[in-house]
Amino acid sequence: MVILETQHKRGIIIKYSADSVSPAAERLRYILSEDDDLPTPTLFTEMDTLQREGDELEWKESARWVKFEEKVEEGGERWSKPHVSTLSLHSLFELRTCLQTGTVLLDLDGYSLPQIVGELYPRQIEEGMLSPDLRGKITFVLLRKHRHQTKKPIHRSLADIGKSSSSTSECCLSYPGHAQSRSMNDIADTPSTDQLKNKFMKKIPRNAEASNVLVGEVDFLNKPFVAFVRLAQATTLGGLTEVPVPTRFLFILLGPQGKAKSYNEIGRAIATLMVDDLFSDVAYKARDREDLIAGIDEFLDEVIVLPPGEWDPKIRIEPPKKVPSADKRWEFYHPAQRGTEISELHELGEELAFTGRFCGGLYLDIKRKLPWLPSDFYEGFHIQSISAVLFIYLGCITNAITFGGLLGDATDNYQGVMESFLGTALAGSVFCLFSGQPLIILSSTGPILIFEKLLFEFSKNNNIDYMELRLWIGIHSCLQCFILVATDASYIIKYMTRFTEEGFSSLISFIFISDAIKKMVGSFKYYPINTDFKPDYVTTYKCECLAPDPSLTGSLNVTALDWSQLSKKECLKYGGSLVGKSCKYVPDLALMSFILFFGTYTMTVSLKKFKFSRYFPTKVIRKLISDFSIFMSIMTFVGLDMLMGLKTPKLIVPTEFKPTRPDRGWLVMPFGKNPWWIYLASFVPALLVTILIFMDQQISAVIVNRKENKLKKGCGYHLDLFWVGVLMAACSFIGLPWYVAATVISIAHIDSLKMESESSAPGEQPQFLGVREQRVTGILVFVLTGVSIFLAPILKFIPMPVLYGVFLYMGVASLSGIQFWDRIKLYMMPSKHQPDFSFLRHVPLRRVHLFTLVQIICLAVLWILKSTFLAIIFPVMILGLMVVRKMLDMVFSQHDLAWLDDLLPEKEKKKKDDDKKKGKDKKKSRPDNKEEEVLCPQTAHPIQGPGLSLSAYYTYCSVTHTAYTKTHTAM
């Protein structure tokens, strides 16, 4: 039990039990835990203040809430930016007093505002709170017309424009003497044209209901008139609300003159409460006045007070980018839903459960994915899929050309660009069609390239046919993959924590970044910048074609040619020689290539963030620009390249459908060229390939299936590995490269398909909803890759530096969201400037740096291995990361590892058992009838009871204290 002790200036000790449950909380748990199939509607709250315009009284809209507050600015011509409501604690106490003493009508059958107003008086007249002769005057005031911000008065003086719409204390809002001669009902019975055409309706969710707050001061009341009304059915009350939304709640506060600011703050308090998720649920389900007061007490429990001397109340707090979840507030009141979300996230590991049955995991994967098969196709027909296809397609063909060229150099063109295109199309489309996780993109990888190079050199040096040996390695590797699938070997991936995932994904990301930069550095070698050029000596720069010596040309008649007029190519063709300082001039293609490379990257990054910008009026335009950012960047810089007309290196695509090497066919025969023992001995290198494929494929799958991506259709580790094995054998028979999950391109695929909520409430940031899980984009990407050989006339205009920029973007974008990368940046930040990461709150900084240093060392070792001939043992080193992570249990506590990494399965189970055991011991040691004594600091009166909430304690003090007693009397 936690006991908080606070010493008052009078020396009185206040003890409060944090484990106790207040009566208000018990009351709320009783009413909120009731099962209700209908969700609570979203409330649109509008606050109108009573004002005088000339000789007329009218209600003028001063603020509105959907989630955040918007005020009418002082000029009265525009709404303020949405901001977090900041309330005074005094206004909340006064609101509580208002609900205690005022009229509360719940589930009133109301059909019009005059009828509802007529129901407010009987109880107050019976209790002597309201004089019968004031009934007509109050009715007259409440039925005045409402002027909303959408409807401006025709005549407005300069003084009126500068008048504050909320300064009701400056105008005398008295009851007019000629009231009897005017219409009692001045409010419109039906919504006006301005209300029906109000574009603000787009910001309000469907099926929303309204809550109207009316506050003002009059000269005929001696004490406030307060009423809170909940209608049995939401009803459209004519011109009462800015938008034609049916009203469900009414709060009315009319009081004596001189307290307009206080009334306005009380109105803001109840309006803010009505848009609070928990209190709005209480308001809908409340059975009596006490339930509403209990809701205010719960709200007070969560309120945070800002010291007035350390904060400027005039500052408007911007809405947070991510609103904290209210689940913790709901847990106590909805026991059935307690921890639902958490349990769902923790149960994502069930796909890797060890079944102990033959092909048990594969069977469960098929059973899990089969019901989603239809939706995997029709959900792909969305405009967002078009941008995803264009983005991933360009990444895939760039990768295919890059690895195809490298494979051609490594294998003497037994596998080249054509085989790379065909293999990518075949393997990728089949995998996306039948796999368990179609968001994964297959591609060639660096370790496989190293293996192919070593295998070709071994075959060449030992007179072994390379393609036949490779076929048998592929067959053995396929069978070994089947064995891994049948025995649920993917279970080992459960031991792959964030430590291993981040090390692997960071390595692949750095490879993409370094390769893109290396390609650009190479451009400066092929096309050097002309640094020797001196503008002052431009007159001396020339290049002449000199005729060759006639004795050396043989029968060629050198005198028949005008050598001074020949071009550079013609001069060299006919045996001439070039003489002059400008003969070796090379255009600054390297500089232009860098502009294309860096421009594509920076423009893509900028446009990707465009959906959060403030430009353009509609969110649709901003989102489209963000989704098509890569396509727009590529088109922009392709156009710039064509406009400049420089011969920058362009994309080279095969134009004929035939093997790269003329002496090989499309089908590889398994027998006839190698000794028989090769067919068996190839089992050994196949084992190394299988380990490589297993680790590469499954780690990429774990990264794709992270709980942060909120995938809902489940994953299929066993099914994915099964199809990778099948494709290994198929590609080996056709002589195509081997393919495995590409981490960076798969992450880019997910990033291009992320879904966000439509921001309804003003100021509310879009929330990440998940990923558009489907198979259409992957299939289209690989189909387009296959037909790219027929698109050569179009693709030849794309400069390679532009595609290198896309590569750079993929590598950098895949680093975002990696905790490892965030922790690396902490080394260069002073402590006071470090972001408020959750792990920094619970783990000492020196331990964080030590954990990061271990990861950096492991990443450096992997990078060195990748860059040498030892890259063939790269998969074994990935397993080594898991061993290192196991050893960290001896260096770091489980508490630190829980925040910096994921706990290992057995450690996590042990931690849960320990927590349960501690909870039972704590419950046994707690007395059943423990009572705490709480003393009010103002009255020093003891309050005894089994637990008292802070809100109840302060409420009691506010009622007993003299200042609040005076407030209570005045109101």
d(CA 434, CA 453): 31
Q: Is the pLDDT of residue 169 over 50?
A: no
128: left (phi over 0), alpha (psi -120 to 50) or beta: left
**Which H or E element spans position 247?**
strand 247-255
Structural tokens at position 236: 């459209």
Residue 384 reports pLDDT greater than 70: yes
- pLDDT one-digit tens code per residue, 658-695: 777 777 778 877 877 778 787 888 888 888 888 888 87
Q: Which residue is it, tokens 């409340």?
A: 286
Distance CA 547, CA 843 (A): 80
Sign of the C-alpha dihedral computed for residues 568, 572, 576 and 577 taken in this order: positive
Report whether 224 contacts 235 (CB < 8 A): no
The closest alpha carbon to 651, from 513, 804, 436, belongs to 804
Among residues 442, 437, 438, the alpha carbon closest in space to that of 420 is found at 442
Is the CB of residue 904 less than 8 Å from the CB of residue 492?
A: no
Q: Tokens for 725?
A: 């094995």
Contact between 91 and 262 under an 8 Å Cβ cutoff? The reply is yes
pLDDT surpasses 70 at 454: yes
Residues 6 or more apart whose CB falls under 8 angstroms from that of 338 comprise: 331
With a CB cutoff of 8 Å and minimum separation 6, the contacts of 230 are 105, 106, 107, 108, 248, 249, 283, 284, 286
DSSP bridge partners of 69: 65, 83
pLDDT digits (tens, 9 = 90+) for 603-647: 888 887 777 677 776 666 776 777 677 778 888 888 888 888 777
Indicate the pLDDT class of residue 11, thresholds 50, 70 and 90. Answer: very low
Q: How far apart are CA 771 and CA 738, in angstroms?
A: 28
Q: What is the pLDDT of residues 807-836, one digit of tens each?
A: 788 778 777 777 888 888 888 888 777 787
Phi-psi category of residue 233: left, alpha or beta, with phi > 0 → left and psi -120 to 50 → alpha: beta
pLDDT of residue 615: 73
Contact 952, 297 (CB under 8 A): yes
Q: Do residues 12 and 30 touch, judged by C-beta distance below 8 A?
A: no
At 231, the pLDDT band (50, 70, 90 cuts) reads very high
For the chain, list the domains and their CATH numbers: 42-149+193-305 (3.40.930.10), 538-584 (no CATH), 819-903 (no CATH)
Mean pLDDT score, 421-425? 85
Closest-CA residue to 53 (of 140, 143, 163, 136): 163
CA pair distance 33, 30, nearest whole angstrom: 6
Give me the pLDDT at residue 12, please. 35
- Alpha helices (H) along 411-497: 417-434, 446-461, 466-486
* Residue 265 confidence (pLDDT): 92
Residue pLDDT, tens place only, 117-141: 888 888 778 777 788 888 888 888 8
The pLDDT value recorded for residue 228 is 93
Q: Looking at this protein, which amino acid is placed at residue 549?
A: D
In Å, what is the CA distance from 489 to each residue of 38, 218, 346, 350, 361? 46, 79, 21, 14, 9
pLDDT digits (tens, 9 = 90+) for 290-337: 889 988 888 888 888 888 777 777 888 888 777 666 666 666 666 554
Beta bridge partner(s), residue 546:
577
- Residue 626 half-sphere exposure, CB side, CA atoms within 13 Å? 19
Secondary-structure breakdown of the chain: helix, strand, coil percentages, each rounded to the nearest 5: 55, 10, 35
The residue with tokens 């002496």 is 663
